[in-house]
Amino acid sequence: MSGGTSPIFGNLDWNVTPYTDLLRDVNSSTIVGAGAASVLVLGGIATLLLFSWMRWWGPLYRNWLTSPDAKKIGIMYIALALVMLARGIIEGFVMRAHQATALGTLAQPEGGLVAPDHFAQLFSTHGTIMIFFVAMPLLIGLINFVLPQQLGARDMAFPVLNQVSLGLTAAGAGLIMISLLVGQFGTGGWTMYPPYTGKIFSPGEGVDYWLWAILISGMGSTLTGMNFAVTIFKERAPGMHFMRMPLFCWTSLCVAIMLIYAMPALTVSSAMLALDRYADFHFFTNDAGGNMMNYANIFWMFGHPEVYILILPAFGVFSEISSTFSGKRLYGYTSLVIASMSIAVISFTVWLHHFFTMGQSAGVNIAFGIATMIIGIPTGVKIYDWMATMWRGRVRITTPIVYLTGFFLLFVIGGLSGIILANPSIDYQVHNSTFLVAHFHNVIIPGVLYGMLAGIHYWFPKAFGFRLSETWGRRTAYLFVGGFVFTFMPLYVLGLMGMPRRSPTFQNPDFMPWMYIAAFGGVLMLCALASLTWTFWTSYRNRAALAVPGGDPWNGSTLEWSTPAPVPEWTFPCIPQVTARNEWGERKRAGDPWQAPAEYTDIEMPANTAHGLLIAIAAFALGFAMVWHIWWLAILSLLAIPGMVALRGMRVIEPTIIPAAEVEQADRRFRQQIASLTPVTRADEETERNRGVPDISEFAG
Amino acid sequence: MSESNLYPGLNLGDTHGEAHDQAETTVFGFWVFLMSDLIIFGILFAAYAAYLNPMGLAGGPGPNDLFDIKSVAIQTAFLLVGGVAYAGVSLGVKYKKGRAKLVAWLFLCAMLGTGFLFFEVKDFLSQASEGGTPQASGWLSAYWALVGLHGVHVFSGIMWILAMIGQIATRGIDDVVKVRLSMLGVFWHFLDLIWVGIFSFVFLVPLA
Amino acid sequence: MTKPNTGALDPQQSANSEIKSYATGFVVSLALTVGAFAALLSDLPATWKVALICVAALLQIVAHLRNFLHLSFSGRQSREDLLLVLFSVSLLAIMAGGTWYIMSDLSGRMHQASDSNAATHDVPTR
């Protein structure tokens, strides 16, 4: 960031990498920064080499990057999310390690592992990544993979648009990643409140990285929401009435509604901030009639529904697994549907509780405080429904159930601390303290993270044809539960002791014991991450023993379990006719669920296309160019996106046809395999005898 | 599927049951997209109202100094007539009036849209010359962002019309083009709808 | 007119009825637009002017939805679209109304503090 703006390279020069910082001044902060950049560079090089060595580029391009298949898109979303999760957890650990060493003294008021500015970047990227590039892709990926299968649909309503959404999300994630290596990230927290993030107080590229990552990926999320909503409205299998949809589909619908109506608010607030920064507008500046309170207002108009965007898919997952692993029908289906929809709508009426202390009258605060307490009611209904589902069931303590139990115990605590915060007068005491940090981690980790990991564990065999190791899965789950308790429970105490959030240093030695406990929790979280990685690796190595070609390893009751594992690209050989709520379960009850369809027809699938990939590249170039003021590239990529859309519109695009014979052959092979495999009882579910064909006489869902 | 369920401007014929289902899905999806867009406009409207006070004006020029009510009336006329002119396209597709007529109607819509944009840009320029730039105050930032975003929408509508003329020329009036024409119609009328809000709440109410 | 696509009739007749629907929409919109501008230029008190402009805008939006965008409660698809629009509008009302509620409250509280600063008060609100 020295000298003027070059017409070719914009503000880029050689002084923007963390290595130059390291050369200028060697200390623990610059070492951590350069280390992180090196991990990124070495990881990138290692991936390049691995893919070239294994000759994976062709298959990657043909089978994955250009595929409009929602199932593959879902898996790619989840892969992206897991990579970002690794970075997010490591950043969280660095922050805990920093605060455990950050006790200031009279002689040296600031201390700790990293510099204050670096610490601010850490909590900003950690929040941004965890919300937008871990939680969102995880849930969008899971919905993409599961929703069409549960609805009995072949694919999403708009497969190519789906690809574009994934591309935009990946472009945003790419911008966040490259900020490790090129330049700095913003220091305004994940909400990037102006006027601090305006041009005067935050010159440079940091806030711009956030803005463009959010604008680009937010666009992708909006389009995804539309896709989900239209899929649910228009692509259900015949007979799949709304009240027959599995609960995961209902929560997906709620998510879709919230994505459609809440993401625009984020787009508006970010675009306004961008106009302030790039074109000297005065939306949120201190002078000339700017009003930063409006930023808080618009941002949280998105922010609160976002919280429920994150949590509702997890609720859907918990509804599915509590029923499946208890061998019981889901208790209170209708009440769960009503509760989900109420949450979706009420979540639009509570946003002010994020800024109770901004200065509005008590009456306004009370109105939103009451709305906040009301939204706790449907959530409570759900918890009781799941407990009633498990009550007197034959519960198998599989990995998803461990997550569910952890969720029960911890999420309720998080929810209760939320109700405490919903009271404006109490909020005045604890706002902006680590009590709040503890609260939202307490709902997001046991809610979103456990839910999504449980979902991944549950549906993994459907995607890849083999189960994940239960032993390692459970170990991971225990580590995540323990890691959470040790990391965040101390933060409640610290908050009540008066520790402000986002504080790079503090002077009170009484904080230290709690800081050490939290740092130990951070270590456990790192172990959990390692254990999660190991779970995938060890299961991959034992994939022959863990294979479940029968496709129904858990004796499930929804349609996705009727197909082979891994599921073929056409999902269903012919679109199922739905007659009941738990269609697959009802067929099991009626005996012989695996009947071949009467006849096979040609299946039309959307043709592979590089459209999404090209748009992702252009969007990334646009974001990067805008961050660094490389105007020629920005204009070029901005024109490229509509240009590509227009060119695609000119062509007549024929779908790929999968001939009936091919479908028939694959399907008959599957039916024969089912007949040849020995059904497995519940007691043997975790053993190698589980080949994905359950003993249907045991089905009780 | 009975004919009364059809979108106006869709004439895919009886033999196209599946194509028609697909068309319905696509147009419904486009409606959902527009609703998302509507929220963007709605928040900008609310922001405009929030900045319309002495603090937001910050001593800069206000509505009475900047708004030219005659020009707003001209723009409104252009857009209203342009919107109604799209009826020619919708009915032309539905009753198979032929390629030439369709292109002529599309062209007319594009011309009326351009007329609107001409006067809007002229207004923006004269306002800027009177000190009403978006950099002058919070209220002017909100005004430029809201009205400018609508202008950008009209511009993309015109580009879309031109692209559709291109598609009609290259691929003829096939089912896909028909669906796109009906989406374009929804978009074009939607812009009209937003403009009703703009001329009423952005221009007329502050002057009243 | 609420059902513009009556395919059972012969094409010419249904085309005529559709043209009539568009024409009605156009005339109504034109009248409401002229009415709103006329209200502004009239000598009515400001509150009346604002009320008239708002009512005209709402009516015109309804006319556009009905006559140009063909939304109605009859016909499965147009009903679905109409419900979608109504749902969106109610959420938008929460968001825009809430913004107005919060921001006007805040601005009221800010103003009381800075009332002595009369220099910025030369432009009346509404």
CA distance A69 to A410: 36
Q: Within 13 Å, how many C-alpha atoms sit on residue B104's CB side?
A: 7
The percentage of chain A sitting over the pLDDT mark of 70, rounded to a whole number, equals 99
- Residue of chain A with shortest Cα separation from C105: A360
* C94: nearest Cα among A585, A528, A305: A305
Give how far Cα C71 sits from Cα of A226, B106, C4, Å. 20, 23, 10
Q: Is the pLDDT of residue A4 over 80?
A: no
pLDDT in tens, A370-402: 999 898 899 999 999 999 999 988 888 999 999
Q: What distance lies between CA B1 and its chain's CA centroid?
A: 31
Crossing angle between the packed helical segments B138-171 and A247-279, to the nearest 10 degrees: 120
> Are residues A289 and B176, on separate chains, in Cβ contact within 8 Å?
no
CA distance A689 to A677: 9
> Are residues C64 and B189, on separate chains, in Cβ contact within 8 Å?
yes
Q: How is chain C split into domains, by residue range?
A: 1-70, 73-111
CA distance B51 to B60: 12
- Residue of chain A with shortest Cα separation from B165: A650
Most confident of A23-32, A113-122, A221-230: A221-230
Residue A495, sorted as left (phi over 0), alpha (psi -120 to 50) or beta, turns out to be alpha
Contacts within 8 Å (CB) and 24+ apart, C83-91: C84/B28, C84/B31, C84/B32, C84/B35, C85/B31, C85/B35, C88/A261, C88/B35, C88/B38, C88/B39, C89/B38, C91/A261, C91/A345, C91/A348, C91/B39
> Are residues B200 and C100, on separate chains, in Cβ contact within 8 Å?
no
Number of Cβ atoms within 10 Å of the Cβ of A676? 11
Beta strands, E only, A471-517 = none
Overall average pLDDT of the A25-54 stretch: 86
B28 contacts chain A (CB < 8 A): yes
Residue C69, amino acid: L
> Are residues C95 and A301, on separate chains, in Cβ contact within 8 Å?
yes
> Are residues B196 and C60, on separate chains, in Cβ contact within 8 Å?
yes
CA distance B10 to A270: 38
B35 contacts chain C (CB < 8 A): yes
CA distance A74 to A219: 17
- How many residues make up chain C in this entry? 126
Residue in the structure block whose two tokens are 């009239």:
C42
Q: What residues does A103 pair with on adjacent strands?
A: A506
pTM, to two decimals: 0.90
* A70: nearest Cα among A554, A448, A560, A450: A560
- Provide the pLDDT for residue B19: 58
Question: CB–CB of A77/A144 below 8 Å?
Answer: yes
CA distance A32 to A113: 8
SS3 A328: coil
Which of C77, C102, C109, C112 is best to mutate for the A interface (most A CBs within 10 A)? Answer: C102
Residue A84, both tokens: 């970002």
> Are residues A288 and B176, on separate chains, in Cβ contact within 8 Å?
no
At residue A413's C-alpha, the angle toward residues A412 and A418, to 5°, is: 95
- Residue of chain A with shortest Cα separation from C120: A289
- Provide the pLDDT for residue B18: 56
CA distance C102 to A291: 13
* A564: nearest Cα among A547, A584, A550: A550
Question: Higher-confidence residue: A382 or C74?
Answer: A382
Which of B36, B155, B165, B194 is best to mutate for the A interface (most A CBs within 10 A)? Answer: B36
pLDDT in tens, B57-103: 888 888 888 888 889 999 999 988 988 888 888 887 877 778 888 88
Most confident of A317-326, A502-511, B3-12: A317-326
Residues of A in contact with C97 (CB under 8 A): none
Residue A170, both tokens: 């990946």
- Provide the pLDDT for residue A3: 52
CA distance A456 to chain B (A): 29
* A183: nearest Cα among A199, A206, A200, A203: A206
Residues of A in contact with B50 (CB under 8 A): 291, 294
Question: CB–CB of A212/A626 below 8 Å?
Answer: yes
Question: CB–CB of A189/A123 below 8 Å?
Answer: yes
- Residue of chain A with shortest Cα separation from B141: A281
Contact partners for chain C, using 3 or more CB pairs closer than 8 A, are A, B
SS3 C86: helix
CA distance C106 to C110: 6
> Are residues C98 and A349, on separate chains, in Cβ contact within 8 Å?
yes
Contact partners for chain A, using 3 or more CB pairs closer than 8 A, are B, C
Q: What distance lies between CA A118 and its chain's CA centroid?
A: 25
- Provide the pLDDT for residue A78: 94
A601, burial (CB in 10 Å: exposed 0-12, middle 13-18, buried 19+): middle
The ipTM (two decimal places) reads 0.88
Q: What structural domains and CATH numbers belong to chain A?
A: 56-547 (1.20.210.10)
CB pairs under 8 A between A and B: 118
| DSSP code for B201 | I
Q: What structural domains and CATH numbers belong to chain B?
A: 40-207 (1.20.120.80)
* Least trusted range by pLDDT, from A220-224, A664-668, A685-689, C121-125: C121-125
Overall average pLDDT of the C71-84 stretch: 80
Residue A252: pLDDT band (50, 70, 90) is very high
B4 contacts chain A (CB < 8 A): no
pLDDT in tens, A660-689: 898 999 899 998 988 898 888 888 888 888
* B30: nearest Cα among B148, B179, B160: B179
Q: Sign of the CA dihedral C8, C9, C10, C13?
A: negative
Residue C25: pLDDT band (50, 70, 90) is confident
Q: What residues does A656 pair with on adjacent strands?
A: A605
- Residue of chain A with shortest Cα separation from B142: A283
